[in-house]
Structure 1
Amino acid sequence: MATIKVKFRASSVEMKEGSLYYQVIHNRLVRQVHTGYRLFPSEWDAGISEVVVASGTEEGRRNYLLSMKTAIADDLSRLRSIIARLERSDTGYTADKVVELFSSPADCGGFLSFARQLIQELKKIGKRRTAETYTTALNSFLRFRGERDLLFEEVDSNLMVEYETFLKGINVCPNSSSFYMRNLRAIYNRAVERELTVQRYPFKHVYTGVDKTVKRAVPLKVIRRIRDLDLTLSPVLDYARDLFMFSFYTRGMAFVDMAYLKKKDLQNGVLSYRRQKTGQQLFIKWEKPMQEIVDKYDTSGTPYLLPIIRDMDTDARKQYKNAAHLVNDKLKRIGQQLGLVIPLTSYVARHAWASIAKSKNIPISTISEAMGHDSENTTRIYLASLDTSIVDKANSLILKSL
């Protein structure tokens, strides 16, 4: 096994700082890693190979030396982790390989490079949604840790607690923090499955649950105000409002499902579609306000019902995500105009429909069926035989209330 030593090289110029370097020895071959750390001979104890902080040292210099001691400890831990990983590989290695992996700023075949590789694999097999969530979590982690790759041995519970503290410090809410942690844990577990590392449970001390979110529903009178706003001078706000109202009219249809609606999905006064999230098929009675929105926009060049995916030569999912970002941004502006206390987003339409339906004494089971919920197996079994006409009556009742 390779060994590591910390060495001090004094300057040839008297009263000038010398330099520290690491010596990597393997199979009698010696290689050096220059650290960039500089100190005076009196600040180095060659007997124990440690930085010395003498009593009476000026505070600025003392802090510098203490930070150097911490940095050296981190470097040595990283070098030992690299050597341990190479030893487990059973493929043979050299001192040069140890130095190469230590010096690489971006890719040492560790956690970050594995995450990027996994994301590309998911994209190739069509699991773009998972790839996108992993990318979001990875980008957040990179803002905390930087681009330098991490050995799997460095991904431990202490690091994740530091990351969680970082997220709290920039006011990331607990649910978002948990989202990042759960996805990073999924990436880490994939590496364990492929025997790239052993399971160390690095996420055991951070929050990975789901808190109850602040209520995002608005009452019927607010939906009326949104519908009746005069937005003729701002076509982009009008567009965002129309899609919000279409979602409400269609029992809180998710924006992604609206984006992929095809003209052929509307037949004989019934709109049918499968939820992107669950694959569950839903049927909606076509109502007049839905048709008014569809008639307002020219979609003759596409097979889609709504003007969300417009260019057949451009990636459809990218167009959907860009449109969702645009619509939510403009809806927030509308919400601000109305003086709403919650941010207005496309998801508010879904919450509002459910909340208003409940206020109309529509059974919870009917609401669940209308919205395509399938989170509880018992609810799904109960709802399996529910007549969809009940759902259509519920929707008609709500729309007439407007």
Structure 2
Amino acid sequence: MTAVPDLTARLSEVSEVTEAHLARVDRDAAFPVEALDALRRTGLLGLLVPADEGGLGGSPRDLVAAAQVLGRTDMSVSMIFAMHCQQTAALTRYADDRLRKDLLPRVAAGEVYLASVTTETGTGGHLLSADAKLDRDDDVLTLDRFAPIVTGGAHADGFLVTMGAPGDTTAHEVSLVYADRAQLTIEGSGDWQPMGMRASHSVPLHLTGSVPGHHVIGGHGRFHDIALQVFGPLAHLGWSAAWLGTAAGALSRVLRLLRSPAGRGRFDLSSELLLSRLARARRRLDAVHALLHRALADVESGGDLSRPPRQLLLNSLKVTASEECLAAVDDLVEAVGLRHGYLKDSPTRLELALRDLRSASLNYHNDRLNLADGRLALRDLGVTFA
């Protein structure tokens, strides 16, 4: 049971707003401003902010539940929300007391939507290295940072930015810094015309500006710890929940179509081929659901998440969810055929789900995680499990 008051009602309000604007934001590749306003209004931007700092006091379990619900309507909105919560959790656990007291009540009040700036031209999406360096003069930190992908960055009120630590000697001494929008000069470049995830509006941004020294999160060069203990785990939980919600929503719409009077007239519900494809799609989603909740339980148990068995479990969740949710929707396309599986105007919205879910394996690329898992497997000689 969640301790968050009226979580279902809050999510229902956001989902209704999202549904009303879904076709337009996908068609125009427009950021879902109305859905963000609903997230602000309902207090959901403060889901993971502690109650004593004005937030809802939610947990990773609440994040997983919320991302699944939002994903059933629009994967872009769910991913935007999940990534914001990931940033909030990093601040809650690692931020300086002065920054916490200033920033977290504003997040809880819906005043600050957080964007993540971790991609870089030279390093791609590799979290644990940075080419751009922080410049430090007394207690002032100066940023000059270009990022090729910043989800929702054009609409963000604050940014968590990875930078090379001042005076670092390697690209792996990475600091995480918070910057308010008002502290930055922000220049956008390029357009956003992707296949799917069109409403995420993940445009390139160039950020320059200065922030106080206490805006470094967790200490200089310490982002590695934040990534292993918060960023990575909550990303894999939140993303996988969003993908599962998207695929589950697609299956639900297909089943409603099949059971409707029009569907019964069009489809042979005793067809062995149809039934087998439905069974396979459902089985894929049940497997992802089981793995998601196994990984969630491991994160909730506390302790060091950097141990190989725990890293392997979390990485396995991301890879499996990204592949199986897409495969499940592809099964559904085959099951219902061209009219309701491939055309944009079908009430099943399989075409949208397929386009959106195709991005999942690319979002911190599965190839990168498979390489990491191979190295981790070599360290776990006993083949132990989390």
Asked if TM exceeds 0.5, the reply is: no
| Class of the TM-score when normalised by the shorter of the 2 chains | under 0.3
> What TM-score results when the alignment is normalised by the length of structure 1?
0.26
Q: Which structure has the larger Rg over C-alpha atoms?
A: 1
Instruction: Tell me the TM-score normalised to structure 2 length.
Output: 0.26
Instruction: Looking at secondary structure, tell me which structure has more helix per residue.
Output: 2
